[in-house]
Amino acid sequence: MKILITGGCGFVGSNIAIYLKKRGFIVHSLDNLIRKGSKFNLKILKQLEIKNFNIDIANFKKISKLAKYDLIIDCCAEAAVEVSKHDIDRVINTNLIGTLNILKKAKKNNSKIIFLSSSRVYPINGGDKHLTNRIISKKLKIKKLFNENDRIEGPKSIYGFSKLSSEMLIEEFGYAFKTKYIINRCGVISGPLQFGKQDQGFISLWLWNHIIKKNMKYIGFGGFGHQVRDVLHIKDLCELIFLQIKKINKINKKTFTVGGSKKSNTSLKNLTHLCEKITGNKIKFARVKKTSIYDIPYYLSDNKLITKTYNWKPKKNLLDILNDVYLWLSTNKKSLKNYL
């Protein structure tokens, strides 16, 4: 099977590319290397003879000239939610027009599609106005898990909109042109080859700043670090994608919620505590009380449907993830400094 991975030099894309290449698939990547760390990941792809096409995903003319692929795994995005405040064009061109271009290419070649979507398709606060107060007062008991049946109406950030509208476009192609697809709505994902920034990839960022002893800030919701997210190990996601590829002729045109869920989640405060333990370093945290209009207090995935469909569950917990990211960051510390 011949596979094209868009965003193939990014964190998720490169991990999937390496995983599938090692299992005998022909894998190519499409990535314009706009993310700094992607040049680091490209070197690893090159060692494995995975070719990258340095093309902007918004450029259909160039995409249409690529060879035919049996499957396109769409991992290309401007993945930082906060970018949608100041660069709407970039978010829409990369995330939505990019998906449209991939769909047009898939239609022409009868390729299947696996799309990496996001939990941010749900509205801010999950529609619950009291969540923020409960986060600040620490009275939040996490009972709610989000799944495919949760409501999607309401503001969600331009990033969230770009992911949801991409999902909807994929469904339309599935309906009108019989394109076979799978959509994975993922919570936070982490693991080696992730380059954390202030607004994206917080697990990697937290560990890195502890390693280099750089002080940080708890931003929003009173500045206490009580926000909670689930975190999925990239290896668990790669195993799931492998299962999905094997069964894609039978199981397709489906949307799944995928995440670390109850097995693997953390508040920022707890993450700090674990980073201190793992690195042996303590850093200072300033408090920024004001909350970004796009931040959400917590998110945990309900994996019921994906577990039932593929008999898949995350195997790795938060400590596994932190230890693996730490190992990667600390062993590559010298060279990573140029990319972070």
Least Å distance, CB 118 to ligand NAD, is 4
Least Å distance, CB 133 to ligand NAD, is 26
How many helices (H) and strands (E) would you count in the chain? 14, 13
Cβ–Cβ under 8 Å, residues 194 and 237: no
Nearer Cβ to ligand NAD (222/294): 294
Nearer Cβ to ligand NAD (136/245): 245
Nearer Cβ to ligand NAD (136/322): 322
Distance (Å, whole) CA 300 – CA 145: 5
Cβ–Cβ under 8 Å, residues 203 and 325: yes
Tokens of 136: 């600040």
List beta partners, residue 73. Answer: 5, 114
Nearer Cβ to ligand NAD (189/278): 189
Least Å distance, CB 139 to ligand NAD, is 27
Element (H, E) at 169: helix 158-177
Total residues found in the chain within this entry: 340
| CA 306 to mean position of chain CA atoms | 17
Residue (of 227, 202, 222) closest to 288 by Cα position: 222
Least Å distance, CB 197 to ligand NAD, is 9
Least Å distance, CB 130 to ligand NAD, is 26
Least Å distance, CB 213 to ligand NAD, is 25
Distance (Å, whole) CA 220 – CA 231: 20
Residue nearest to ligand NAD (CB): 10
Nearer Cβ to ligand NAD (12/113): 12
Nearer Cβ to ligand NAD (118/261): 118
User: Which positions touch ligand NAD (CB under 6 A)?
Assistant: 7, 9-13, 31-35, 38, 56-58, 75-79, 94, 116, 118, 186, 188-189
Cβ–Cβ under 8 Å, residues 74 and 115: yes
| CA 90 to mean position of chain CA atoms | 18
